[in-house]
Amino acid sequence: MSKIGFIWVGKLKESFSRDGCALYWKKLSRFFQLEESVIKDAPGKLPPTEKNKVEGERILAKVKPGDVLILLDEFGERLTSRSLAAKLKQWTDAPNQRPVFVIGGPFGLSDEVKAAARHSIRLSDMTLPHELARLLLLEQLYRAGTIHKNMPYHHD
């Protein structure tokens, strides 16, 4: 079974986010072996650039050899569900590598994390709250899995 990794900054605080993410995590785990690293938020007293730096160091410390970082960023590549499904297949079929999706904290990602990434994608042209972005990503990855399995979830 192919693996997918996730690195998130911060815990889910809202019950709707926890419930929704748990639902799609369970559904997605039918298709892939999932691994998650939750990075602690940087201290609130730090200025945004320092928060990004601290969180970026913590993110990069979780990266393993063979990981292909895919950032979720408002300026990332715009994809349809079908094109995400095709890319996910490409990423998970490649030998000796694991796609790892990264969602930063409220102030985004450090330049060091951006430099380490091979791909950057967006979920929307609009800025999304962190918790909603996690939920949408998990749903879209589940949708990608159903597209590959020809299951009746995605409708064109």
Q: Which domains are present in the chain? A: 3-148 (3.40.1280.10)
Tens digits of per-residue pLDDT, 113-128? 999 999 999 999 988 8
Tell me how far apart the alpha carbons of residues 3 and 144 are, in angstroms, rounded to a whole number: 14
CA angle 61-63-69, nearest 5°? 130
Percent of the chain with pLDDT over 90: 86
Q: Answer yes or no: is pLDDT of 14 > 80.
A: yes
The residues with which 91 forms a beta bridge, in sequence order, are none
What is the C-alpha separation between 100 and 77, in angstroms, rounded? 16
Which amino acid is present at 76? Answer: G
Q: What is the pTM of this model?
A: 0.95
Q: Is the dihedral of CA 105, 70, 79, 144 positive or negative?
A: negative
